[in-house]
Amino acid sequence: MRNILLLFISLILLSIVLLIGVLQTSSETLRPPFYYYPNGTIIQSSEEFPSILGKKVDLLELEIAVKMAESGKSYENGIHIYGKGVSETIPVILAPKSYYSVIQEFTRDILISLLYLSVAIWFFFYTRDLYMLLLFGSLSCLSLFNFFLVGFHEFHFLFFFFLYFTAFVILNISFRLRGKELPIRWFAPEVIFSLIAGFVGRSQKADPHIFGILATNGVYFILFCSIICIFFLF
């Protein structure tokens, strides 16, 4: 019964964050048949264009196509998609989508975020383990704000903050596996560094190159800390 209660608490908290998030976005916009990061990397596509996953869209051409469509004109040149040393052109297919439609297409990501949040709350109520609470709470936030970033191109600051903070939490857990408890004061520089990463990501969100550098380094940082953590398990 208590586990069910924890699940309901997690669901309520996630629903509140989702509601606040979608209220920050426009209700309906013209969208291409794929979703992409601010640097143009395509991570989700419709069944019409399965071959473009992992490639990059020409952001300038896409922006021009959207603006022309919003003004009632058609963009007939197509949009360039760039892969490793090759490029292809796909037709411009823009369709209005509400945020409800976007949420439906990212149901898996939202459920993953809910799962992480439920685990974080479980650790809080049953073990009072601060590190595990922070780990799964950060993973939940990272998954959720990754959805907002890809689906709506919003919340750059929170995405980058939790990207780097998650790595620090994993690193802290690796020290704990060695039988060492880190002082609470170590959290201050970790939070400050994550805040700086979030601020840079937010202030430079129009620069796809900066986004790519920050995101790539953040992922590598998480992988590095995870390898250290796994190493101390054996």
* Number of structural domains in the chain: 2
Burial of 187 (0-12, 13-18, 19+ CB in 10 A): middle
Provide Rg for the chain, Cα atoms: 20
234 Cβ neighbours under 8 A, 6+ residues apart = none
Residue 1 has pLDDT above 50, yes or no: no
Residues 106 and 89 in one domain: no
Q: Residue 11: inside a domain, yes or no?
A: yes
* Cα distance between residue 110 and residue 140, in whole Å: 9
Residues 159 and 189 in one domain: yes
| Residue range of the domain that includes 185 | 2-23+102-231
> What digits encode the pLDDT tens for the residues 6-32?
555 656 666 666 666 655 555 567 788
Residues 56 and 116 in one domain: no
- Identify the CA nearest to 88 among candidates 43, 55, 41, 44: 55
Residue 45 has pLDDT above 90, yes or no: no
Half-sphere exposure of 111 (CA within 13 A, CB side): 5
**The amino acid at 190:** E
Residues 134 and 47 in one domain: no
> What digits encode the pLDDT tens for the residues 181-219?
666 777 889 999 999 999 999 998 889 899 999 999 999
* Cα distance between residue 115 and residue 140, in whole Å: 8
Mean pLDDT in the chain? 83
The token pair at 84 is 């490793």
Q: Residue 28: inside a domain, yes or no?
A: no
The token pair at 43 is 């991570």
Residue 158 near residue 213 (C-beta atoms within 8 A)? no
By three-state DSSP, how is residue 41 classified?
strand
Question: Quick one: residue 95, left, alpha or beta (phi over 0 = left, psi -120 to 50 = alpha)?
Answer: beta
pTM: 0.86
Residues 109 and 216 in one domain: yes
Question: Quick one: residue 6, left, alpha or beta (phi over 0 = left, psi -120 to 50 = alpha)?
Answer: alpha
Confidence of residue 152 (pLDDT cuts 50, 70, 90): confident
119 Cβ neighbours under 8 A, 6+ residues apart = 132, 136
Q: Residue 212: inside a domain, yes or no?
A: yes
Residue 53 has pLDDT above 90, yes or no: no
Residues 202 and 106 in one domain: yes
